[in-house]
Every structure is written in C-alpha cells, then in structure tokens.
Amino acid sequence: MNKETGPLPFDKENIPRHIAFVMDGNGRWAQKRGLPRTAGHSAGSESFHKAAEILAELGVRHMTVYAFSTENWKRPLEEVSAIMGLLEKYLRRSIRELVENNIRLDFWGDLSPLSPKLRKLIDQTDELSKQCTGMQVHVCLNYGGRDEILRAARALAQDCLEGRLSPEDIGEKELEGRMYSHDVPPPDLLVRPGGEMRISNFLLWECAYSEFYFTDTLWPDFGREEIYKAIAEFQKRNRRYGGLSR
C-alpha cells in the first residue's frame, strides 16, 4: 500500500466508521479528454480501488459504493455492458490483492438479472473474502434504495402471513434485519463527487442521519487529498441526531 507520511489534516482518532460514495462524474471525466464514456468508468474503477486501500489504511470499517443502480439499465446497452465487463475484469484482477490486504468485498442489490458469469465471480469473491476481518466494502449493484425498502417490507409481510411475526411487533430493527445493510452501522458520511447535490435513490433508509459531503471533483480524480478533505469536513460537523447541540 502507498502510505502517506506527512501530517494528517484531521484527527485520526475520529475517523468515520462507515463512508458511502456515489461514484459520479466518470462520463464527464472521459468526455473532457475526448475519450468514450466507458474510459471514464474504467478510470473510476481504478479510483475505487485506490480509495478502498486508503480508507482501509485509515481504519474505516465500512465503505459502500454505488456501482450500478436499478435505473442505470436505461443507459445505452453498450455502456451497461462496459460497466458489467469492468466489474468482471476488476473482480478477476483485484480480489486477491484485496484479500491480501484483509479487505472483505460483498454485494448489495438484486443480482438475479446479472450474467451467470458475473454471478459466479461474485460467489467466488464472497467465498474468497469471507475470511477477511478488516474493512468491509459493500458494492451496490442493481441496487435502489426504494427497492431495498420494498423487499424488506415484502419479507415482513410474508413473515406475518406465515405466522412468524405480528404486525404490532414490527419496529425499525425488524425492517433493518431484512435489508442488504443488516448488521452494518449506517454511513456516518456520504460523499458525492461530480457536482450534483442529490441522493439518487442510494441508501435511503441508512442515510437518515449521515453527514453529506458534495464536491465538484469528478470521481476518477477523487484521490487521497479529496478523501482527507472530506474527512476533515466531517470532523467539523456537529451531529445531533435530532437532539440539541452538544
């Protein structure tokens, strides 16, 4: 790992436990260079790999990335295929390196429409990385925040129908237990590069009290310096969770 040696611009005792990223701006990054959009996604996957290494080095416990949304199928077939191809390439090439760094990778989303080849690679990745005890990376793939909540609601309804649960016993814990993110603390910080200031159906339930950090930097340019800036900004925030200022 390429570790930074200079003084850190933030308190290393107060690192967010969980950081989520909307990896936005890949297309524009490529267009600015006269390259096809797919070259931007390729640069974006490099940026993802570097960010995972930096976050693991800082002691972040969970990193969640939005790789492909339930709405991204609306993009041209060529771009969808390129993103799926990149994921395959990435998993083939990098999983061993992540495992060596004790980083665990898992996937959140409806994986059923993905190609059998990609699903097999995902299963192999799960198998290889489940022994890792370091940072967990959650890759959201064919993921939608509304879809995640709907699936959990459906599972609750099924449990009620089959007598395992009564409606009056349904609380937040019961719903959360049926979501992709069960057992994972909610993001402390949600980072969106690329200049847009919206949540785009990402982690709708989980981000109820997350701190948001937006920047114009495009995802392929989002490196160590940008990560440090986001954490420094996070540490200036006063998290109140609906209560009074501390």
Q: Which residues bind ligand FPP (CB under 6 A)?
A: 23-28, 41, 44-45, 48, 65, 67, 72, 83, 86-87, 90, 139, 194
Minimum CB separation of residue 89 from ligand FPP in Å reads 8
Minimum CB separation of residue 194 from ligand FPP in Å reads 5
Q: Dihedral (C-alpha) 70, 188, 133, 12: value to the nearest 10 degrees?
A: 140
Please confirm, yes or no, whether 72 is among the known catalytic residues: yes
Q: First-to-last CA distance in the chain?
A: 38
**Nearest CB to ligand FPP, comparing residues 86 and 149:** 86
CB neighbours of residue 181 within 10 Å: 20
**Nearest CB to ligand FPP, comparing residues 42 and 152:** 42
CA nearest neighbour of 153 among 189, 125, 177, 182 = 177
Selected catalytic residue, list 2, 14, 24, 126 = 24
How open is the CA angle 210-18-26, to the nearest 5 degrees?
A: 85
**Nearest CB to ligand FPP, comparing residues 67 and 231:** 67
**Nearest CB to ligand FPP, comparing residues 45 and 152:** 45
CB neighbours of residue 76 within 10 Å: 9
**Nearest CB to ligand FPP, comparing residues 80 and 165:** 80
Minimum CB separation of residue 53 from ligand FPP in Å reads 13
Q: Nearest-CB residue to ligand FPP?
A: 27
Minimum CB separation of residue 7 from ligand FPP in Å reads 31
Minimum CB separation of residue 80 from ligand FPP in Å reads 9
Selected catalytic residue, list 11, 72, 142, 201 = 72
Which residues carry out catalysis?
24, 72
